Structure 1
Amino acid sequence: MLSTAALRAHLLAAGLAGVVATTREESLRSYRLFASRDPRVLIGLDPERAWGVRDLVALMADRCGVSADPRNVSGHDVIDPERTLAALDAFAERLAEAARSGAAVLLGTGHPHRLLGFYAGLADALSAAGCGVLTPAQGRSVDITTRFGLRTYNLDYVQGVALVREPGAGRPGGATGVHTHSPLPVRLALAAAAEAGGPLPELVIGDHGWVCGAGQLGFEAMGLADTDDPAPFVGEAEGSVSVVVPLDDGVRSGYYRPLARYVLNRACLSR
């Protein structure tokens, strides 16, 4: 079993916490866009209150451990590994509850090249524990506005984890998909589940728009987020998102495997 000390060391060595690749400039730009309610940064969340840049800096300092000084405008962000570990423990606790009740779950990612393996491990363990791992709207098209204009993607599931891919980009269920922050894929999946008469997920696990989009619609949601993605943390602060784990979401995919093992061990779901 991976100890807390060993995982802390891994977080720092892999750049998942400690000094991370995300720059202060990137984060502050996201905070400014969020404060102006730019939908590209809200990623499906409709905040209950007005959040200024100073409010967001204070929130992210509290939830992630970044600098609380708004005058600090350059360099790399820092994530406190203790905050990451505490959030992983809360994540594992909720995962254990879902497993005990045999809850229906929906997993999805906008970071398939990095995070697919992490979520796939959770999907496999939850399925083995008797949870229904849902795959609604498989193969359906979703139009997403990108910096290159409007693009049509297909919703697909790989090892129980939803992602979007370009039409004709490999066989269904194979390879990985595209990077997106959009909440439209989770809205499509939830609408399809409702149209089919259920079941609806009791828990949504993912990142970006998957967490914020589901949480905004009233579904319990939890997942991972970087320091330049304030929306999930705002959702957590306002109560629409259950748990957000602060970490760098852009390191090598293999670096997330120890996190999955740790969470599954804590949730008593290891096999």
Structure 2
Amino acid sequence: MADMPTLLDAYFTRIGLTMPVESTLDALRDIVAGHNRSIPFENLDPVTGIPVVDLSAEALADKLLGRRRGGYCYEQNGLLGYVLDDLGFGVQRLVGRVIWMHDDDTLPAQTHQVLSVTLPDGDGPYLVDVGFGGQTLSSPIRLAPGQVQQTRHEPYRLLDHPEGFELQARVGGVWESLYLLDPIPRPRIDLEVGSWYVSTYPESVFVRGLTAALVTDDARWNLRGRRLAVHRAGGSEKTRLGSAADVLEVLEGRFGINLADLGDRAELEARVGRVLDS
């Protein structure tokens, strides 16, 4: 594991917070909010042919903190898991099947990672997920079915399901299913296999299309290819970006992604141009 003071100092600098004195539920809520607004969801590595396999604390801290990039669920929740471990929370890594916008009856693979978090005083567990893109949880919720739980944004709920739990969010007045959650903890090797798969499989949505997201205090910013959407409580705004160059400007300016980390700008623009309408 990365050196604890270095990891924690770099992480809290990145999310713009002071390290909490005590590891409480309020501190956990603040950490999730700071992470949401500071570290973007993005899949530029798979889009540019870079496999995401190493989920060690050192690798994730280097990319998301040192190089000021974002990442997807294995990276986002992976990094946060190491931070919460070091702060004294109890952390287990769980996986789920994404059914959000899944429009057929085929069974999706278990390729989403989340965290089950228990407070040092034993309270919990809480479901923590900072890696579900534009519809990610903006607050911890109790990992228990049957109750509607308000986050900083929409209400969520967990339902009993044969695989464990089904997570739903109330979006536009309708309960939408997001993923099926398996409550059995997984070791890092299983997570690295899943990350390798979604970052290299030719038909993976992360290989075939560009996605970025950021959850601010009052909005959800979603980018899919050239389509930029901003969802607020009062409504949504949608913009169709004209070119790959425009997309790169938004990735840098709005999402705060360090694109210099990805090498030659012209080559990056060409690769992004091939997935603008995927």
TM, length-normalised to structure 1: 0.24
Q: Which has the higher helix share?
A: 1
With structure 2 as the length reference, what TM-score do the two structures score? Answer: 0.23
Question: Of Structure 1 and Structure 2, which has the larger fraction of its residues in strand?
Answer: 2
By relative contact order (CA 8 Å, sep 6+), the higher-ranking structure is 1
